[in-house]
Structure 1
Amino acid sequence: MPTVSVKRDLLFQALGKTYTDEEFDELCFEFGLELDEITTEREQISREQGDCKASGASEVVLYKIDVPANRYDLLCLEGIARGLQVFKDKCAPRYRRVSPASGEPQRLLVTSETAAVRPHAVAAVLRDITFTQERYDSFIELQEKLHQNVCRKRTLVAIGTHDLDTVCGPFTYTAKLPADIHFRPLNQTQEFTAVELMSLYKTDSHLRHYLHIIEDKPAYPVIYDSNGVVLSMPPIINGDHSKISLKTKNVFVECTATDLTKAKIVLDMMVTMFSEYCELAYRTETLSSEFINRKVGINESTERIAGLLTKMCLRSQPTGAGDQIQVEIPPTRSDVIHACDIMEDAAMAYGFNNIPRTTPGTYTVANQYPLNKLTELLRQDLAAAGFTEALNFALCSQEDITDKLRKKLFETRAAHIANPKTAEFQVARTTLLPGLLKTIAANRKMPLPLKLFEISDVVLKDETKGIVYSTFFPGRCAEVFVCGVSVGRLGVLHPDVIQRFELTMPCSALEMDLEPFL
């Protein structure tokens, strides 16, 4: 769960009420949050950077609040304050877009060159903002929280924020050869080419973690204004020309991405947290109060449940058709995907401690699944015999179960992944041998002998095919039968298999199917 640090007094000011620590802890619990720690700026800096760094820090009280990983709207003080105010029936924000008083809305043009590196981009403008130091810090911190959370360390989405009054639209998002991109990056005093920047930031404690995202690409993404000024080279660095400051009044926000849905979510979070002037996509869902009552275990009226959902930032009202409730889902609640998510919010608003305890309607006696019981007994016996258990991925490369084991593809009965993200996870494993042999290869420096075992699932498409023994050395392998049924094979692995897994010592293996024993 992400942890958000907020200044207590600023939070209470935004809430319009002062709480004791115990009262605020209880409020967080009711809302589905957790007050993890109460500290001060001095204590936090001292713990993170040492006492010498904390000498000039203040004694301002900080609340460290754990928020659910899917509640991106609670990653800053503004979002937490707004959510709690709605929960306490003090406000019900409505977001709308206002056309600029002078001229047409800004445009961000996306060229085809970006398709091979980072194909998507979305943008918005926040107008007439007044930054204080606290608001500015929160704005920057929200970007970093989003980068580490939904943006997956900028691999899915990268956020750029710019002072709109320093640049001129329309803006162009394109990709160019690294040597053809040159600009003055944020907080630098001279221009660099993209090639020079990648070299410069290899030693940067913060930015070096993002270089790998594009450094091997033939072209780098870049955003220009209509005068050729570089706004940013995502996902690495913004240009210094358009950097925002406390004096910034209009902010141009751009999100470049490999995932368009995530880009829209991130843009929604940025504009809804800091502006009341942006219209975003609302959607509605309809569900019955009977569904919520049954799933939560309560018995409330349709009107009461609609009120509970409204407290959770989901404006709701009865439709008048039976017990149906129309729920409006704002752009801040990207975590609401299914009716069960709405039901969960109703339960939180009702209060988990208020839900009556009931005895389950059905009575059952739990029992361990026979296959699990057998495998647990085998694990204990093998470990007692001096073997070490390995736990490998259930997916592997196609080469692992074919060429490396001296088998043809049609012989493997493998289930193929339709859209594998990496060559290491192309098929579901049909045998445990590749994983074990890779484990041995990674531990070649360990003292011999290496005695490993793994008891886990394999996936086979068709049980009518025969078993092929080319993996083992001819004349030094055998098939294992139990009551006339083939349950496995054992022997010395073929030298070609040993070599293909980069091993240098002979290996023996026993592979058995446990299900026929049940």
Structure 2
Amino acid sequence: PNVTCIKEELMRLIGKNYSDDEFNDICMAYGMELDEIIEEPERHSTVAVKTYKIDVAANRADLLCVEGIARALKVFIENGNPEKFVVLKPKYTIEVDSKIGEVRPYIVSAVVHNVQFDSRSYNSFIDHQDKLHHNVCRRRTLVAIGTHDLRKIDASKLTYTGEAPENIQFIALNQTTKTNGKELFGILKQDKKLGEFLGIIEDKPVWPVIRDGRGEVLSLPPIINSEYSKIDLNTTEIFIEATATDLQKAYTALNAVINGISLHSATPLEVEAVNVHYTSTQHTPLVKTDIDVVPHLNDREMTVTMKYIRTIVGVELTADQAIQYLHKMSIIAQKAEDQQSLICQVPFQRADVLHPIDLVEDVAIGFGYNNIAEHYSDYPVTSTIGGSLKQHRQAENVRIECASCGYVEMLTFTLCSKEDDVFAPQYVELSNAKTSTFTHGRSSLVPGLLKSAQYNQFRTLPLQIFECSEVFQLDQGAQNETGCIMKRHLCALYGGVVDGFGNLHGLLDKVVARLGWKNIKLQLEDDPNFVKGRRAAIYCGDQKIGFIGVPTVEILMLYKVPFPVTVFEIEM
């Protein structure tokens, strides 16, 4: 992601002025890139000011605004202590109705007091939410953030529920007339910015809505807020809410907003919690109790061994040195009792730290990658010419053949949900899954392509897509301690007015010819997930290597694919 920062504001927040070259060196040392330096006017202004375009890592949600960058760099440069937030006891409660469970089940919230906006900080606040919506929130499909002026609303009774769109009547943000949900969508379809998000809830039986104690609509997530609770330059009390299908991403987005806006508060390290009361937890498996007190701003404890750090970094660092370098990255660490490990306190802003390797990376950044390269790099005594592995060349040949036949390559997630086991048993389950969407390692590529067909159903038919990637399978030789191995599969899908079995069979013939496989044959077999008489096993000699067939209507309805398809999947 590329973050736009006005230099004057960035330097003010850091507390020291740097030249362009000096700041470029600081960015490179921290793992960011000063991509561009331009002169352009601020929003609603004609006066050009020096502006930085900074590239940040996609997993660093805390760096998606000028305030987050300033807060991180201030600790990095000055080696000061990371700031600790105080969470005040909640005064307000959001009642979550079970009706919304199957549409957008989760909501998180917080209140920030004593905010002091000027035009520059207000613009940054709005831009920050847009950045989060495009990155962490996955274009609002996972999370949608809403911010409201607390003084304009009646927060004595806040509700989050699902209602028929005809019953949701309000004046939407920047609109002048009251409309219901259906009428509003008719207007917003012409909006270049919001029009693309309408499909997220348009076909749902009920639409999510947040109301206050007066019954007034605050938000129609994930689309638009209400003019009634609009924030402006005079707003001092901000009520933040984020609705979601992914609770962990909602926590991350909420924390990022708090981290950014709090710098413009007269009490910058205070935030008020909100009680979220789920009347039913049937559709919210990630919520441990029926009341979720948010935000969660506590540090997370992680442990990493010094041996692991030294092995990965390649430098014989002492524990005290590693503690110092982690401190520069806002992570407080101390030695464990065995003196061979570090116990690290990871702040809430650092949602990117998920594994000890992330701590090692922070040690390396704190030490300086250039220092490692200059003083500790060991070059081999002999030089060799590298080349790609045979299996990679084979996969590339297959991709070229599929693309030549008019098929478009997909790249879907390696992790999937429990419900995606319809085509093959799932052998790998995550012990600490953060979301119900990603709980297992996939054992088949077909569910991913069916989801791709769902998302691309409005494109011109026929739809021709393929994927050549790894899946998890049992290790029959029991040579792997995990009992599981990864194997590369090829899967292709043809969808259109007719199922196109013959078309996909032709692609299969092309692929096996390109691979040079002999004695390929198809043998009819039954499977409850495929139309009877329209599935065949694929054999190479006497070994079964895959299948080809037409999924049943029930399977197509499960994945919301509105046209017949044929799929094949083979092991490479």
Distance of 1:211 and 1:457 partners within structure 2: 43
Residue aligning to 1:246: 233
Residue aligning to 1:295: 312
1:435 partner SS: strand
Distance of 1:98 and 1:172 partners within structure 2: 22
- Residues 39-438 of structure 1 aligned to structure 2 (within 5 Å): 39-42=38-41, 57-89=46-78, 91-99=80-88, 105-169=91-155, 170-275=157-262, 276-278=269-271, 280-355=297-372, 356-359=376-379, 369-370=389-390, 392=409, 422=450, 435=492
Residue aligning to 1:507: none
Structure 1-normalised TM-score? 0.74
Return closer, same or farther for 1:450/1:353 CA change in 2, 3 Å cut-off.
closer
Deviation at 1:66, TM superposition (A): 0.2
Return closer, same or farther for 1:420/1:91 CA change in 2, 3 Å cut-off.
same
Q: Is the 8 A contact 2:79 2:328 kept in 1?
A: no
Deviation at 1:374, TM superposition (A): 6.8
Distance of 1:90 and 1:292 partners within structure 2: 21
Distance of 1:61 and 1:368 partners within structure 2: 45
Matched to 1:114, the amino acid is I
CA RMSD of aligned residues (A): 4.5
Q: Per-residue displacement from partner, 1:386-444 (whole Å, max 9, x unpaired)?
A: x758565599xxxxxxxxxxxxx99xxx965798694568999999998386699999x
Distance of 1:436 and 1:423 partners within structure 2: 11
**Residue 446 of structure 2 is aligned to residue 453 of structure 1:** no
Distance of 1:91 and 1:244 partners within structure 2: 34
Q: Is the 8 A contact 2:304 2:359 kept in 1?
A: no
Structure having the higher strand fraction is 2
Deviation at 1:342, TM superposition (A): 0.7
Matched to 1:76, the amino acid is C
Q: Is the 8 A contact 2:168 2:181 kept in 1?
A: yes
Residue aligning to 2:438: none
1:227 partner SS: coil
Asked which structure has the greater CA Rg, the reply is 1
Distance of 2:544 and 2:347 partners within structure 1: 57
Distance of 2:127 and 2:203 partners within structure 1: 29
Deviation at 1:454, TM superposition (A): 3.2
Q: Is the 8 A contact 1:72 1:146 kept in 2?
A: yes
Residue aligning to 1:49: none
Q: Is the 8 A contact 2:172 2:227 kept in 1?
A: yes
Deviation at 1:57, TM superposition (A): 2.5
Q: Is the 8 A contact 1:379 1:455 kept in 2?
A: no
Matched to 2:170, the amino acid is F
Matched to 1:345, the amino acid is D
Matched to 1:319, the amino acid is A
Matched to 2:190, the amino acid is T
Distance of 1:171 and 1:284 partners within structure 2: 34
Structure 2-normalised TM-score? 0.68
Q: Is the 8 A contact 2:79 2:327 kept in 1?
A: no
Return closer, same or farther for 1:57/1:371 CA change in 2, 3 Å cut-off.
same
Return closer, same or farther for 1:34/1:110 CA change in 2, 3 Å cut-off.
same
Q: Per-residue displacement from partner, 1:470-509 (whole Å, max 9, x unpaired)?
A: 99xxxxxxx999xxx56999xxx9xxxxxx9899xxxxxx
Deviation at 1:87, TM superposition (A): 0.2
Distance of 2:324 and 2:208 partners within structure 1: 47
Q: Is the 8 A contact 2:322 2:363 kept in 1?
A: yes
Matched to 1:72, the amino acid is A
Residue aligning to 2:31: 32
Fraction of identical pairs, as percent: 35
Distance of 1:290 and 1:433 partners within structure 2: 40
Distance of 1:187 and 1:344 partners within structure 2: 45
Distance of 1:167 and 1:348 partners within structure 2: 45
Matched to 2:143, the amino acid is V
Q: Is the 8 A contact 1:160 1:253 kept in 2?
A: yes
Return closer, same or farther for 1:394/1:60 CA change in 2, 3 Å cut-off.
closer
Q: Is the 8 A contact 1:95 1:272 kept in 2?
A: no
Return closer, same or farther for 1:300/1:211 CA change in 2, 3 Å cut-off.
same
Q: Is the 8 A contact 2:410 2:449 kept in 1?
A: no
Distance of 2:496 and 2:169 partners within structure 1: 46
What runs of 5+ residues in structure 1 fail to find an aligned partner? 46-53, 396-408, 444-448, 459-465, 472-478, 494-499, 504-510
Distance of 1:366 and 1:310 partners within structure 2: 39
Q: Is the 8 A contact 1:375 1:455 kept in 2?
A: no
Deviation at 1:188, TM superposition (A): 1.7
Return closer, same or farther for 1:114/1:360 CA change in 2, 3 Å cut-off.
farther
Return closer, same or farther for 1:122/1:415 CA change in 2, 3 Å cut-off.
closer
2:161 partner SS: strand
Deviation at 1:108, TM superposition (A): 1.2
What runs of 5+ residues in structure 2 fail to find an aligned partner? 263-268, 272-295, 413-422, 425-441, 455-465, 472-487, 501-505, 516-520, 527-537, 550-562
Return closer, same or farther for 1:374/1:193 CA change in 2, 3 Å cut-off.
closer
Deviation at 1:467, TM superposition (A): 4.6
Q: Is the 8 A contact 1:95 1:277 kept in 2?
A: no
Return closer, same or farther for 1:322/1:270 CA change in 2, 3 Å cut-off.
same
Distance of 2:399 and 2:55 partners within structure 1: 38
Deviation at 1:315, TM superposition (A): 1.6
Count of residues in Structure 1 that have an aligned counterpart in Structure 2: 447
1:81 partner SS: helix
Q: Is the 8 A contact 2:467 2:492 kept in 1?
A: no
Q: Is the 8 A contact 1:86 1:311 kept in 2?
A: yes
Distance of 1:456 and 1:138 partners within structure 2: 57
2:189 partner SS: helix
Q: Per-residue displacement from partner, 1:284-318 (whole Å, max 9, x unpaired)?
A: 11212221111101111101110100101112222
Residue aligning to 1:398: none
Q: Per-residue displacement from partner, 1:254-304 (whole Å, max 9, x unpaired)?
A: 000111111111111111222221371211112122211111011111011
Q: Is the 8 A contact 2:197 2:222 kept in 1?
A: yes
Residue aligning to 1:23: 22
Deviation at 1:251, TM superposition (A): 0.3
Matched to 1:77, the amino acid is V
Deviation at 1:177, TM superposition (A): 0.5
Residue aligning to 2:432: none
1:60 partner SS: strand
1:121 partner SS: strand
Q: Is the 8 A contact 1:122 1:255 kept in 2?
A: yes
